[in-house]
Amino acid sequence: MVEILRRYDFSKQRRLSFEYIVFKGVNDSLIYAKELVKLLRGLDCRMNLIRFHAIPNVDLEGTDMESMIAFRDYLTQHGLFATIRASRGEDIFAACGMLSTAQQQAEKKRKKVKPFNTRNIMKRMTFYLGMALAVLSLASCRNGGKSIITPVSSGRPYEVMVVADDKCWMSPDSALFHVLDTDVPGLPQAERSFRISRVRPDFFDRSVRLFRNIIIVDIQDIYTQPKFKYTRDAYSSPQMIMTIQAPNQKEFADYVSKNGQVIIDFFTRAEMNRQVKLLEKKHNETLSAKVQSMFDCDIWMPVEMESYKQGKDFLWASSNLNDLNFVMYAYPFRDHDTFTKEYFIHKRDSVMKVNLPGAREGMYMETADSIFVETRNIAVKGDYAFEARGLWEMKNDAMGGPFVSHVRVDRDNARVIVVEGFVYNPGKLKRDQIRKLNAALYTLKLPSEKEVSEIPVDNSISEEQIKQEAEQNKQ
């Protein structure tokens, strides 16, 4: 059958699609995904993954969403474009027309079925059709080359769609995949930086273009050297598209490998900017007022942080579940070693020991495995800052988790301001939580600064400038 489909001319037809119903413990492992790739390799098609919906008196079950996503990701990473079909009505056994006869009969006994009112139905259809035509009319209007109504982007946070041909994506080194597949630093368990999907250029159609994060690989001999360029909200909103141009495959791979952190930071910051926009509209105003009164600063933190504790030049806030935590403290800027990993850990541990003790004597927060703490110089609002990521633990207790800190210089007041987010969420993934907190840290406004509601996705301050600032601060 597949061979017949390979020979058939679909050039004047809609795209060939396959429906794959996924059963828990039956056909949901990556072994089956691998076989699907082998079976359909070279066939211009897409795969719709459908989770099996439970039916009364049938032992089969639908698989979990994590397995569905892993199955989809494997297919797309190996050249077979796949989507997960949204489920409707599974909770009442109505998905895909599977409402049982018994249920229908029971429903009929419970209440009388009213006859159809054809006139009312036609009125409703006319109304909805008119509304749809009005929306389409507005969407078709152009203003400066863009639609008045921009579609909402698809895809999950930190999901990236790569548009690349098989030669690039399936090369032995696959440089771009290895960059995107790196783990988020400073987490207790391995979590990928991004969820990755891939589509061939000829599949980059109207639906795929709605993805929130897209990388377009453009390899042509018309280019003299590799480079990046990016566009915002080209097909949907919010959306960020990065195009990587290169004259050949080798230069593309070398360029991507050299600039891997730039690519990661680009899309990470794009996602964090979306979080910052949400915080700008809705943040914890009580916490902002406390930060203002204690430090003469401002910061936008999630509204769920409703528990507070104050100390000398120290503020702690936490959500009711204790999963999201924020601390802020200050100290004089007079030590030339302020911006070193060793000094940061020493200062952090001394502050946390005093201000965040445990439930019993001898318990307090400290930095775990300091050798694995990762630090780097970053730019915040065009100014130098010091970022630290690592793990925290409660001394003589089993509590722990990841943290991210920003160390800033308040030059007007000759002091150092530290803001930190840390997560306590045992047994669960923590990537999105720590990134949510990190986005909030970027909103810190020192006394001399203006509010900036966006993190630059490109380097607004050069690496050389950052190095110069770091040297000046050490003097």
Tens digit of pLDDT per residue, the chain (475 long)?
Answer: 666 776 666 655 556 788 889 888 888 888 888 888 888 877 777 888 888 877 777 778 888 888 888 888 888 777 787 888 765 444 333 344 444 444 555 555 554 545 555 556 555 655 555 555 444 444 444 444 444 567 888 888 899 999 999 888 887 778 999 999 899 988 888 888 998 888 999 888 877 898 999 999 999 999 999 999 999 999 998 999 999 999 999 999 999 999 999 999 999 999 999 999 999 999 999 999 999 999 999 999 999 998 999 999 999 999 977 789 999 999 998 766 778 899 999 999 999 999 998 888 889 999 998 888 999 988 888 788 999 999 999 988 888 999 999 999 998 898 999 999 999 988 888 999 999 999 999 999 999 776 656 666 654 444 454 455 445 544 4
Domain assignment of residue 145, yes or no: no
**Number of domains, the chain:** 3
Query: Which run of H or of E encompasses 104?
Result: helix 101-110
124 inside domain: no
pLDDT at residue 314 in the model:
96
Q: Are residues 249 and 353 in the same domain?
A: no
Residue ranges making up the domain that contains 364: 282-474
- Among the three residues 53, 79, 112, which one is the final residue of a domain in this structure? 112
Give domain status of residue 144, yes or no.
no
Examine the domain organization and report whether 346 and 459 are in the same domain: yes
Q: Are strands 383-394 and 146-147 parallel, antiparallel or unpaired?
A: unpaired
- CA–CA separation, 160 and 278 (whole Å): 21
Question: Per-residue pLDDT tens for 122-141?
Answer: 556 555 555 554 444 444 44
Tell me which of 93, 112, 131 is where a domain ends. Answer: 112
What pLDDT shows up at residue 335? 67
Both 235 and 314 in one domain: the answer is no
Structure tokens at 283: 């943040």
Q: Are residues 347 and 305 in the same domain?
A: yes
- What pLDDT score was predicted for residue 145? 45
Q: Are residues 188 and 302 in the same domain?
A: no
In a domain, 277, yes or no: no
Q: Which of 296, 337, 315 is nearest to 421 (CA)?
A: 315
Residue 47 lies in a domain: yes
Do 179 and 224 have their domain in common? yes
Element (H, E) at 424: none
pTM: 0.66
CATH of the domain at 307: 3.40.1000.10
Please state the length of the chain: 475
Instruction: Please name which of 53, 82, 79 lies closest in space to residue 70, comparing C-alpha atoms.
Output: 82
Q: Are residues 303 and 446 in the same domain?
A: yes
H-only helix segments in 236-362: 249-258, 260-281, 285-295, 341-355
Helix (H, G, I), strand (E, B) or coil at 198: strand
Same domain (yes/no): 240, 291: no
Last residue of a domain, one of 225, 258, 291: 258
Residues 315 and 240 in one domain: no
Tell me, what CATH number does 100's domain have?
Answer: 3.20.20.70
Alpha-carbon dihedral sign for residues 207, 212, 213, 217: positive
Structure tokens at 449: 């600064």
Q: Over pLDDT 90: what percentage of the chain? A: 41
Does any domain span residue 228? yes
Residue 362: count other Cβ atoms within 10 Å of its Cβ. 9
465 domain-assigned: yes
Query: Is residue 456 in some structural domain?
Result: yes
Q: DSSP letters along 155-194, please?
A: S-TTEEEEE--HHHHTSSS-HHHHHHTPBPTT-SS--BS-
Ramachandran angles phi, psi of 307, nearest 5° = -105, 140
Assess whether 214 and 341 both reside in one domain.
no
- Let me know whether 254 and 291 are in one domain: no
Q: What was the pLDDT predicted at 285?
A: 95
Considering the domain architecture, whether residues 106 and 175 belong to the same structural domain is answered as no
Q: Which of 368-394 are b and which e, b meaning 16 or more Cβ less than 10 Å from the residue's Cβ?
A: bebeebebebbbbbebbbbbbbbbbbb
